[in-house]
Amino acid sequence: MTDLINKKEIDYDYIVGVPYAALPMATLISSNLEAPMLIKRKEAKAYGTKKLIEGSYETGKKCLIIEDVVTSGASILETIEALKLEGLICEDVICALNREQGGVERLEKEGIRLHSLVSMTEILNYLVSSDTISADRRIEIEAMLKNTSLANSPTKANGATKTNGTKSTNDLWNLETRKPLLECNPLNAMVLKYMTLKKTNLCVAVDETNKEKILQTIQSIGGYVCAIKLHADIIDDFDQSFIDELTTLSKHHQFVIFADRKLADTGNTVELQLTHGSLHIADWANVVTVHSVPGPPILQSVLNIIKQNKALKGSLLIASLSSKGALTDAEYSKKSLEMANDAKNVVSGFICQKRPSDNPEFLYWTPGVNELKSTDGLGQQWRSIEDAIKRDGNDIIIVGRAITQSQNPVEVARDYASRAFELWKSR
């Protein structure tokens, strides 16, 4: 960056790093160039001089702004505004990476020139040429980058939500922003279609052991769900006729079939579990749950089956469970997230209690929702619809006994679906 400053022959008197990530870089550049450095605080001190700008400076002098990554340019403009209030001039910014999400154009409108070491286009060119990512993956990334409303999305600072730009704090999670991102994943595209068409983000867990009772329940509530979740291995009379009727119902009522298999074995075994035995899960289920305990190879095995063009379209990684004392702690969730980020072509989202990521490309499915009880006495813990969606940041609520064991499953399903969708839509 020092070399680039010299090469460009940029005129400056002081070096200023955008707080706080760029301050170490600005410090080193200031040292390399033997140029004085100013520090812009995010907030003025409540004591002493109460200044936003620290350092010795004269009005009318020029500041060179240092930034690490430029997305929208909003943080840079905040810094420049504070410097201008002190009578300082800002015309140039140098950054390590230009993400090409509108920052250059936004800064140009304010008379600011942006110089970068590398652009996202150059990075993607390299990643494709080195076979690190495929051309298709590049297209997905470029589609996300073009969705410039993400550049103005909220960030968390000191536990509070603040905005980087002019958009509202809900922009990252509104449907308009997320739709093109979610549609990059075949399963999420299907789920989103049903959610918006039927105005529901309700998944009902029909944990019954008799196929006729399961089918009767689905027939009655199918119009109010985006997905039906099953444990096929607990059904006493599971057979092909059940699968045929289930598939017919899913097409008629337009919902996703969710096999809660919780795969957690070696790759070869997982492929056999999905395609053989008495269940043949991949032939009828659109989505299956997967534990991240075996590590990344389990996702490759699931992907191998998805590529066979069966009913299976995607998987949900289990980030956390709703049962009391579950071992799926924060570290487990973090590692599950890392696996998912490296396998977005197979991982469509998460089973979680609290949303483990601020990535809007995933859908976050949450069990443990019951408006009438907080526990079943067997370790299951429940909370309200509002807590699950608004407080915990989830997209789809998974509700079982609160609906299936109620006196009027149809009315309860309609009520849960209506309230949950309104809460989700209003985020």
DSSP code string of 55-98: S---TT-EEEEEEEEESSSHHHHHHHHHHHHTT-EEEEEEEEEE
Contacts of 98 (CB under 8 A, 6+ apart): 70, 104, 114, 116, 118, 119, 120
Say if residue 143's pLDDT is above 80: no
Say which amino acid occupies 327: L
Q: Where are the beta strands (DSSP E) in 108-153?
A: 113-119
* Average pLDDT of the chain to the nearest whole number: 88
| Measured distance CA(121)–CA(262) in Å, rounded | 39
What average pLDDT score do residues 368-375 get? 75
- State the pLDDT confidence band at 156, using cuts at 50, 70 and 90: very low
What's residue 330's pLDDT? 73
Are the CB atoms for 227 and 397 separated by under 8 Å? no
Are the CB atoms for 228 and 254 separated by under 8 Å? no
What's residue 152's pLDDT? 45
* Low-confidence winner among 48-62, 73-87, 324-338 (lowest mean pLDDT): 324-338
| Measured distance CA(48)–CA(138) in Å, rounded | 51
Q: By C-alpha distance, which of 51, 70, 71, 61 is closest to 15? A: 61
Which of 328-332, 334-338, 380-384 has maximum average pLDDT? 334-338
Q: Which residues are annotated as a binding site?
A: 207, 229, 322, 380, 400-401
Are the CB atoms for 273 and 261 separated by under 8 Å? yes
Q: Which residues are annotated as a binding site for substrate?
A: 207, 229, 322, 380, 400-401
Say if residue 197's pLDDT is above 90: yes
- Domain 2-171 top-level CATH class: alpha beta
What's residue 381's pLDDT? 62
**pLDDT tens track for 101-123:** 888 999 999 999 999 999 999 99
For the chain, give every domain's residue range.
2-171, 184-425
% of the chain residues with pLDDT over 70 = 89
Residue 184: Cβ within 10 Å count = 18
Say if residue 130's pLDDT is above 60: yes
Q: Where are the beta strands (DSSP E) in 333-403?
A: 347-351, 363-366, 396-399
Residue 226: Cβ within 10 Å count = 28
What's residue 157's pLDDT? 36
**pLDDT tens track for 58-71:** 999 999 999 999 98
| Measured distance CA(33)–CA(297) in Å, rounded | 48
**376 catalytic per annotation:** no
* Low-confidence winner among 46-50, 82-86, 328-332 (lowest mean pLDDT): 46-50
Catalytic, out of 13, 68, 265, 415: 265
> Which SS3 state, helix, strand or coil, does residue 8 take?
helix
Q: By C-alpha distance, which of 348, 244, 337 is closest to 289? A: 348
What's residue 46's pLDDT? 55
Q: By C-alpha distance, which of 314, 259, 311 is closest to 282? A: 311
What's residue 49's pLDDT? 61
What's residue 149's pLDDT? 45
What average pLDDT score do residues 212-224 get? 97
Say if residue 160's pLDDT is above 50: no
Catalytic, out of 92, 171, 260, 395: 260
CATH superfamily of 184-425: Aldolase class I (3.20.20.70)
What's residue 47's pLDDT? 59
Catalytic, out of 262, 310, 354, 425: 262
What's residue 410's pLDDT? 96
What average pLDDT score do residues 294-315 get? 95
Beta strand 154-157 with 160-163 is antiparallel
Are the CB atoms for 300 and 329 separated by under 8 Å? no
Please give the C-alpha separations between residue 359 and each of 186, 227, 355, 393, 394, in angstroms, as whole numbers: 17, 22, 10, 11, 12
**260 catalytic per annotation:** yes
- State the pLDDT confidence band at 376, using cuts at 50, 70 and 90: low
Taken in order 291, 292, 295, 301, is the CA torsion positive or negative?
Answer: positive
Say if residue 377's pLDDT is above 60: no
